[in-house]
Structure 1
Amino acid sequence: MTLPHGFVIELDRHTRVLDDGRALVGGFPTRLVRLTPRARRLFDGTTLRVRDAASALLADRLLELGMANPVVERLPELPDPRYTVVVPVRDRPRQLDRLLAAIGTEVPVIVVDDGSRDPEAVAAVVAKHRTRLVSLPVNVGPAGARNAGWRLVTTPYIVFADSDTVLAPGTVSTLLRHFADPRVAMAVPRITALPASGAGWIARYENGRSALDLGAHPAAVRPGTPVSWASTACAVMRVDALEGGFDDRMRVGEDVDLCWRLVEEGKRVRYEPAATVAHAHRTRLDDWFLRKLVYGTGAQPLAERHPAFIAPAVFAPWSLAFVALLLAQRQWSITAAGAVLAGAGLQIARKVDGTRHPHRLALRLTAGGAVNAVAQTSALLTRHWWPLTVAGCLMSRRVRRATAVAALTGLALEYRRDQVLLDPVRYGVARRLDDLAYGTGVWLSALRGRSSVALRPRISR
């Protein structure tokens, strides 16, 4: 399967062009790609348009490495863009009415009533919008409800949309353009907050840092990258890529499982923020906290199915040694940690030898790796491992100091990045509650499954 003529890609914002275009560095994990003179001539600035077999091969390679992204507005249109919308719902007639009104009547819609307590109210909304209703006698969960819908679809593409979302005009047509790449199996939009989601401090935190919002930049959805999973609160898929569908044994995390299965099969999942969907975020403190906890309980089922992908942190051997030395807090720790960084920098410089300034590039890459290692350690201490951190704080002054530094440093970096409309104090409280809820869910699932796989970092070379 090759990219079609006219397919356009653009280098990712994290990809650096070196030596007047003779090399590229970027991707996840970071790689150095050297370009031949012929390959360099294929680029127009930072974009590349597929014109022949050579340009198709290079574009495909850069997409696979995470060094480039499709330019969605310049992708060719599909010859057969027909799709069906599947909406799983349990009660929520008001939200369902709002969604169906936004979808309109020009495309087929299948509403799957997943054992509603008031099925007549759902049926009345479906009849109002003249869509198809499938009623399940018992509640089977979102995975089972989606499966019941997609098995009835006869179009080439399917759109899953949760009842508490509202699709913006052009969302589906924008996402469908990604399927010009024959390896793309699923494309997802950016999920933002509905204006009516609330104005309290939890609402403002969630509007700026929702787990469903994957950011402002396009990306490949792959484990171990900044966009490691995608929600199917709204998603467009090839019907023939679903095969076994969602794992209906999972009540939470079924969307992550599907993403990772597609990646394991060699298919691509794209995140496209140019397409947007509004979502009714949870804004009551108790409801919001419980939902975060439930998200965490999906960790162990995912660990059983994808043990190589579930690690809460991924360290290179040198970065693990670096943070371990910092956490030791001895008089010699800073010196030893600096020596580790120097050694890593020299090793990286040897790998990028042949570029114009290998040591300068190695310094930049090493510094980035060190910052990332510190950020991951902060997340481990305050989120995934918080019960161990609390126990350690009760027994050790060093652990208390390390935790305080990790918590404050993490908050400072995230507050600046997220630009949440909250003062730092309430942002900090919401962030720690978020960590507490999610981490508790992870531990509950680990204890229930009698396994620590979801809690163990991974060391990767």
Structure 2
Amino acid sequence: MRLRIDPGTRMLGRTLIGGAPLRVLRLSEAGARLFRQWENGDEVHSGGQLADKIIAAGIAHPVYERGTLTPADVTIVVPARDPAGPLPVGALVVDDGSVEPIPHAAQRHQVARGPAAARNTGWWLADTRLVAFLDADTRPAPGWLENLLPQFEDPAVVAVAPRVRSAKGSTKLARYERARSSLDLGDKPAQVGRGGRVTYVPTAALVVRVEALREIGGFDEDLRFGEDVDLVWRLVDAGGRVRYEPAAEVVHEPRSSWRAWAKQRFDYGTSAAPLSRRHGRKALAPLRISGWTALAWSLVALGKPKLGLMVALVTAGLLPRKLRPMGVPDGESLKLALRGHLGAGRYVADLLTRTWGPVAIPLLAATRRGRWTLALALSRHVREWAEVKPEVDLGTWIAARAADDLSYGAGVWRGCVTERTVAPLVPDLSDWPGK
């Protein structure tokens, strides 16, 4: 095994800064030497505990030349309802609600019970060590399993997900989805878990150890949406490790119309409330930042940018005292603190136009200062458009991004009303400096 060091990692003497969420690790002299060797491409022959620690922190990602598992060790399970198109050869298809039998089906539900129940029916029939869940409208790229299976050489890894990309198309919706699909988690590998860069992976395409599924009881069939998030978090809570490996790709068909697309986003939003009941308020908090950072940005929004800047500068000065014993220079600590304050502005903007959007946007639009705040929040889409370079014009991109966020936010509010909870609407500001 070799380690691919995450691009955002910095080594200052024996102090390692990186990962998601950001970690600061103080290494021994021997540990620092090993890390530099791994950074240069040497194989991991010793220092297994250190390697495991930085992998778990998201500072490095394991790379295996080959593995002992093959596609013959995998049962492919496809949940489908009245499938009409071609399905993966050799797949175990669970037809959820079909009236007539279909040639591919090994099992059939007479009454539709949802995708979670269909997947459970499928994996319980598997007689292999691994099971791969694939949606009926996905098309795996050649060699996708071969790129995922080596990750299971780590016995702690219980699930690995490929990158799920939206299929290319000529319509504006297809081109937007190709660049901004909610299933596409990017081109960088990651350790999956709450608080990380990749917090969950969709079961539109996911390979899981059958033993791990048995230990947690599989999917929660009471969840109509968000069952994939719940499954991944329970796998991690049980002590397993879940990896995201974009070297493997699966293509997913986008929705056929903007209306169907908006409903999909709305449905995703409705899962926040039931998930918060299962995993706690903080797991689904729409914003998690330091209370001081929240105060600084609140002052800016209230038209007091100088006071907000003063709060940011004063609180940034508290971090060097905390990191100095770990070998982080004061100047570097100040940069980290100020970068954190500045970067949090994007998360505050997400909160205003996404989760709080159905209520916040009308309120902000009613006043001049509110309109300036709203324009500032939406300006992040312009920067994103310039960075992503999607095959849609700027106006379409901004409108689609705004509708994307608003549809999801409306779903969150609907879920909160249904579940009688406000947990997914309440930010987590508990991370105060010095706590």
Q: Smaller-chain TM-score range?
A: over 0.9
- Residue of structure 2 aligned with 1:322, choices 293, 296, 321: 296
Once residues 84 and 357 of structure 1 are traced to their aligned partners in structure 2, the CA distance between those partners, rounded to angstroms, is: 49
Q: Is the 8 A contact 2:270 2:411 kept in 1?
A: yes
Q: Is the Cα–Cα contact under 8 Å of residues 42 and 48 in structure 1 kept in the other structure? A: no
Q: Aligned equivalents of 1:458 and 1:28: distance in 2?
A: 17
2:8 alignment partner in structure 1? 14
Q: How does 1:89-100 map to 2 (within 5 A)?
A: 89-94=80-85, 97=86, 99-100=87-88
Within 2, Cα distance between the matches of 1:283 and 1:371? 38
Tell me, yes or no, if structure 1 residue 421 matches structure 2 residue 421: no
Q: 1:45 to 1:186 in 2, by over 3 A?
A: closer
Determine the C-alpha separation between the residues in 2 that align with 1:364 and 1:282: 43
Check if 1:151 corresponds to 2:124.
yes
| d(CA) in 1 for partners of 2:229, 2:388 | 23
Tell me the distance in 1 between the aligned counterparts of 2:201 and 2:309.
37
| Runs of 4+ that moved beyond 6 A | none
Alignment correspondent of 1:458 = 428
The residue number in structure 2 matching 1:434 is 404
Is 2:26 aligned against 1:34?
yes
SS of residue in 1 equivalent to 2:410? helix
- 1:49 paired with 2:43, answer yes
TM-score where L is the length of structure 2: 0.93
Can you list the C-alpha shifts for 1:73-114, whole angstroms capped at 9, x where unaligned?
4354349961111111102321xx1x32xxx45xxx311010
Conservation of the 8 A alpha-carbon contact between 1:317 and 1:459: yes
**Preserved contact between residue 190 and residue 274 of structure 1 (Cα < 8 Å):** yes
The structure 2 residue matched to 1:87, chosen from 64, 78, 86, is: 78
Out of 204, 207, 231, the position equivalent to 2:202 is 231
1:265-289 Cα distance to aligned partner (Å, 9 max, x none): 2211110000000111114111111
Residue 263 (structure 2) pairs with residue 290 (structure 1): yes
Give 1:58's match in structure 2, choosing from 50, 53, 65: 50
Three-state SS of the structure 2 residue aligned to 1:252 is: coil
Percent of residue pairs identical? 38
Correspondent of 1:112 among 94, 104, 108:
94
Is the alpha carbon distance of 1:51 and 1:76 closer, same or farther for their aligned partners in structure 2, counting shifts above 3 Å?
Answer: farther
Shift of 1:382: 0.8
Corresponding residue of 1:400: 371
Q: C-alpha distance in 2, partners of 1:149/1:253?
A: 19
1:247 is matched with which residue? 220
Contact 1:84 1:153 in 2 (8 A): yes
3-state SS of 2:283 partner: coil
Q: Name the Cα RMSD after superposition.
A: 1.9
**1:388-440 superposed Cα distances (whole Å, 9 cap, x missing partner):** 213423553322221121112x2123213332111111101111111121111
* Alpha-carbon distance, 1:261 to partner: 0.9
Which residue in 1 is equivalent to 2:189? 218
Structure 1, unaligned runs of 5 or more: 1-6, 127-131
Alignment of 1:180-191 (within 5 A): 180-191=153-164
Q: How does 1:136-215 map to 2 (within 5 A)?
A: 136-195=109-168, 198-215=169-186
The separation in 2 between residues aligned to 1:141 and 1:8, in whole angstroms, is 41
- The one-letter amino acid paired with 1:273 is P
Check whether the contact 1:143–1:246 (CA below 8 A) recurs between aligned residues: yes
Distance 2:42 2:407 in 1: 44
Alignment-mate amino acid for residue 50 of structure 2: L
CA separation of 1:76/1:84 partners in 2, compared to 1, >3 Å: closer, same or farther?
Answer: closer
Match of 1:343, SS state, is helix
Contact 1:85-1:161 at 8 Å conserved across structures? yes
CA distance in 2, matches of 1:138, 1:36: 60
Structure 1 counterpart SS, 2:170: coil
Report if the CA contact (8 A) 1:81-1:156 is conserved.
no
Point out where structure 2 has 5 or more consecutive residues left out of the alignment: none
Partner amino acid for 1:216? D
CA distance change for structure 1 residues 377 and 451 in 2, over 3 Å: closer, same or farther? same
How many Å separate the matches in 2 of 1:203 and 1:394?
30
Whether contact under 8 Å (1:293, 1:439) holds in the other structure is yes
Determine helix, strand or coil for the equivalent of 1:228.
coil
Change (3 A) 1:274 1:441: same
Q: What do residues 129-182 of structure 1 show as CA deviations (whole Å, max 9, x unaligned)?
A: xxx521111101000000001111111111111100011111112111111111
Paired residue type of 2:153: A
Q: Which residue, 375, 379, 399 being the options, matches 2:346? A: 375
